[in-house]
Structure 1
Amino acid sequence: MESGFDLRFLYGSTILPECILILGLIILLAIDLTSEGDTYWSYPISLTGSVTGIMVLFSQWRGEPIISLLCGPQTNTCDDIFQFLILLCLILCAPLFTEYFQCTEMAVTESLFFALAATLGGMFLCCASDLVTIFVALECSSLCFYLLSGCTSRDVRSGEATMKYLLMGGTSSSILVYGFSWLYGLSGGEVQLWGILNGLVESKMQNSEGTSIALVCIMVGIAFKLSLVPFHQWTPDVYEGLPTPVVAFLSVTSKVAALALATRIFNLFAPFSDEWHLLLEILAILSMILGNFIAIAQTSMKRMLAYSSISQIGYIMIGLIAGNPSGYASMLTYTLFYIFVNLGAFASIALFGLRTGTDSIRDCAGLYGQDPLLALCLTLCLLSLGGFPPLSGFFGKLYLFWCGWQAGLYLLVSIGLVASVISIYCYLKIIKLLMGGGHGGELDTPRTGDDRILSFSSPHTPESLIELSMMLCVIASTTLGLIMNPITTIARDNIFN
């Protein structure tokens, strides 16, 4: 095993991408302190940092173990894949932050600063291998999400959603740390994950009641971050109350980071406990069924996507529960597709909200007659979420269910198929409104939720960045499924090999 304490500490380990983001944070902070108001350079700096970080990750793609000062032994590229997904979320969401916040006269630099900091915490979480680093990285990301949630101080709903998110997030973090404390004590004072595993084996506590309590507490903390039923109560209210770009960023980044943590912990303790396997199956089943059923009754697009995200994470859990390289590969592949599809839908809603001041499903009626491009993009994203061929959502679900079926998860896959059929009705109902007649919201004047006319301070065409991000996500969600084979091959060959 090579050591990362020489020059490879920066280039051969995973620390260089994080250093790039830290440099971007310093520059954004300096700009915010020295300039009056927002500047045009905030977005290019954020975009440059995230793109450079992805390029470094590709250059570090490795097949041999490396020791990192902060992240411990790195034996596969699974961590790099999760970090790539988190940086991809930032790249796709940064245009939404920039244009939306400029149109609504909110602080762009401040929002991008917190988005970068949340991404930084998520990247450290993806490669953390000890309890202290896991908790610090998780809280770094969570606190930035809380601060992003409170950026709209003039909106009462945003303040209420932020308070609910903060209180429930703090409670879940406390339960997670309580589980960590059980592992720390039962393993004889170890903080490294592999040290905890060896300590439990040496003390013959791997099958004890204390270990079960620890895993249940950890599962509760992770389930909150993933919005799994019944730990999903915060999700619809937070999604509805927060600005659309913040919701879009939160809906994908937090889930990718939580999936990375869940994959690391549950894969480590899988040989010693089958209880987490059964509990995760129950959570996945409840999420798929309740998420899709409740989504049908929603009247707000953002609340509908909130319950849709609950059901989608239920599908993703099938790959995690499978517990083999093919299962993890299907989980990562579907997560990649979900990022593009979900962000494409939120970008469409953000654009519609800026132009009409509402996210009501009823106000989307007849949208195709007023803005065919926007209606078509939203339609393609909804169809992909429902799993219509030949969109990427279809191929992602097909591979995910196939891997689950091969792993013997017959009940879970069967319920997933039924839940997918239920979701199709929800999405088709909205598409029928989009393509049909009716009196939707007026699209000629950009407004906020309080119908206040806005002034644009953007140096380029208003909403151009949102349209660019929307088009990029729609193209990816439409075409990625056609080149799925190399994607799944790369994921499968680099997971826990």
Structure 2
Amino acid sequence: MSGKIENLLFDSNSPTPVVAFFSATSKVAALALSTRLFGIIFPYFSGEWHIALGVLATLSMILGNLIAITQISMKRMLAYSSISQIGYIMIGILAADPENGYASMITYTFIHILMNLGTFARITSFGLRTGTDNIRDYTNNIDYFLSLCNSSIFPEYILILTLITIIVIDLSYKGKDILLLHRISLISLLSSIVLLLCQWEVKSVPIAPESLQINTPSNIFRLFLLIRSLLSVSLSVDYVRCTKIALAEFLLFISTAGSGGMLLRCANDLVTIYVASECLSLSSYLLSGYAKKDIRSNEATLKFLLMGGASSSFLAYGFSLLYGLSGGEVQLNKLVDGLLSNQMCDSVAIYTSIAFVVAGMAFKLSLVPFHQWTPDVYEGAGLYMKDPVLTFSPVLRSPSLGGIPPPSGFFGKLYLFWHGWKAGSYPSVPIALVTSVISIYYYLKIIKLMFTGKNERSGTSTIYIQNSLVSSSTSISKSSIEIAMIIRALASILSGILIDPIIGITQNTLF
């Protein structure tokens, strides 16, 4: 049987998954038997067995590596390489020490199995694409690997893996290790941002062209979502400590919502768009009601859930009409072609479907008159901050939201309104200017209240929040909140100063 297995391993025509299975399974089984037998027999005959096994291990290490160098087939090279690896593993058995030798042998075996199977997975992927396992065909394969990383949704994979890791750790530690979960989330989000930036300029090779389309605009929005999630997570740990609520679920919802939002921008068919939208929406419903002890939070969540369900039904009905009118197409490009070929562009049905889709999207964007949920959710989602140091950040950011220079909001609005005027949006731009001036009033009102503290309703509201959410014995440092708020304030100022380079980068990236 062992001879048949070895012949299979060295047969370059054997199916790669079969070779991968036997390359790991047979060796693990043989090593298990070796540790069992030698663990009982070896201690009594160490001198005789030590020499024999030492010679076999040495020959395996030398010949396995030398023959592997001469191979041109990747599978045969891995077969000979695995022979040398077994020679290395035999060193642990030769130690005849269950506590140290066997432990090191088991550890290295585990690492070898993972690397071996990972390599075979890569060979399988390459073989399916090229039809060969010749090592010479791997020339310049790094370009394909980089383009594959760019085309795939690796940042989303990291968030999903983080989501699973958080669940496992929270169940293992029973919600006690808050800092560990917080650091894992921060590291995963930073890794996703770095990976997204590294693959920015690589030519895309779509993995699922019918469902996802990754391009530069999608990368920009994915980056925005990752940065927003990172800053939100940085605010979470001190708030969770203060309010005595669970952190794991909060991080879970953040990861799920972030993944849904990122996939939503890459979606290229109606089904993926709807599923990604619901992934984002359901997580948002749960986040809005996360402060369970706050009655306002419960009320806001109920409104958000009911109205969100209605908007989702509008969106689904609009998509179903588009699907039927296009002749059963779900991919966006084919859907447009189907509508044109069926001469449905000017029909009443197409306007009806668009109306339902716009209504569903308007709720997500909180456009009037679909905005009623927004004030309740913003108020009831939970906030606890009373710190003079943090007043610095809103003082800098509020003028930016109102369009007062020098923060970036002024230049952003100026750039937006100017190009809107050039494009002929003459009624909209004056209205936008007037409403921007009106918004300055309530943004400055926030700053006034921060310094004077005179508000007839503030006392009742603050007492309610503190009594319902915050433990009186809680005394924490809001270091993460301060850092996140200061970073946002400085980013607003610096982006206003460097607005020309930012606009130039955006134009070069998109066009």
TM-score over 0.5 for the pair: yes
Matched with 1:15 is 153
Rate the CA distance shift 1:446–1:379 in 2: closer, same or farther, 3 A.
Answer: farther
Residues 1:486 and 2:501 are matched in the alignment: yes
Matched with 2:298 is 159
> How many angstroms apart in 2 are the aligned matches of 1:445 and 1:402?
46
Residues 278-427 of structure 1: pairs in structure 2 closer than 5 A: 350-352=384-386, 371=388, 373-427=389-443
Deviation at 1:239? 1.4
Deviation at 1:418? 0.6
Equivalent residue for 2:491, pick from 476, 480, 485: 476
Deviation at 1:490? 2.4
> How many angstroms apart in 2 are the aligned matches of 1:101 and 1:397?
35
Rate the CA distance shift 1:237–1:201 in 2: closer, same or farther, 3 A.
Answer: same
Residues 419-438 of structure 1: pairs in structure 2 closer than 5 A: 419-436=435-452, 438=454
- Contact 1:103 / 1:455 at 8 angstroms: preserved in 2? no
Deviation at 1:462? 1.6
- Contact 2:242 / 2:471 at 8 angstroms: preserved in 1? no
Deviation at 1:34? 0.9
The code of the aligned residue for 1:173 comes to S
> How many angstroms apart in 1 are the aligned matches of 2:212 and 2:335?
14
Rate the CA distance shift 1:137–1:386 in 2: closer, same or farther, 3 A.
Answer: same
Rate the CA distance shift 1:446–1:453 in 2: closer, same or farther, 3 A.
Answer: farther
Equivalent residue for 2:468, pick from 435, 438, 450: 450
Q: Deviations over 1:40-86 (max 9, x none)?
A: 21111111111111111111113745323177464730000000000
- Contact 2:321 / 2:353 at 8 angstroms: preserved in 1? yes
- Contact 2:407 / 2:496 at 8 angstroms: preserved in 1? yes
Matched with 1:330 is none
- Contact 2:237 / 2:247 at 8 angstroms: preserved in 1? yes
The code of the aligned residue for 1:116 comes to S
Matched with 1:141 is 280
The code of the aligned residue for 1:108 comes to L
Rate the CA distance shift 1:485–1:452 in 2: closer, same or farther, 3 A.
Answer: closer
* CA RMSD after TM alignment: 2.7
Residues 1:99 and 2:114 are matched in the alignment: no
Rate the CA distance shift 1:13–1:155 in 2: closer, same or farther, 3 A.
Answer: same
> How many angstroms apart in 2 are the aligned matches of 1:446 and 1:171?
32
> How many angstroms apart in 2 are the aligned matches of 1:237 and 1:446?
16
Residues 1:28 and 2:166 are matched in the alignment: yes
Rate the CA distance shift 1:165–1:447 in 2: closer, same or farther, 3 A.
Answer: closer
SS in 1 for 2:206: strand
Q: Deviations over 1:306-345 (max 9, x none)?
A: xxxxxxxxxxxxxxxxxxxxxxxxxxxxxxxxxxxxxxxx
When normalised by structure 2's length, the TM-score is 0.67
Larger radius of gyration, structure 1 or 2? 2
**Percent of pairs with identical residues:** 46
> How many angstroms apart in 1 are the aligned matches of 2:467 and 2:412?
35
SS in 2 for 1:229: coil
Deviation at 1:35? 1.0
Residues 1:466 and 2:500 are matched in the alignment: no
Unpaired segments of 5 or more residues in structure 2? 1-125, 130-143
SS in 1 for 2:345: coil
Unpaired segments of 5 or more residues in structure 1? 245-349, 356-370
Rate the CA distance shift 1:438–1:448 in 2: closer, same or farther, 3 A.
Answer: closer
Equivalent residue for 2:325, pick from 176, 179, 186: 186
The code of the aligned residue for 1:31 comes to I
How many residues matched? 367
Residues 1:111 and 2:250 are matched in the alignment: yes
Deviation at 1:493? 2.9
The code of the aligned residue for 1:119 comes to G
Matched with 2:70 is none
- Contact 1:150 / 1:158 at 8 angstroms: preserved in 2? yes
Q: Deviations over 1:192-245 (max 9, x none)?
A: 00110111111111222211111111111111011100000111111111213x
Deviation at 1:451? 7.5
When normalised by structure 1's length, the TM-score is 0.69
> How many angstroms apart in 1 are the aligned matches of 2:413 and 2:473?
43
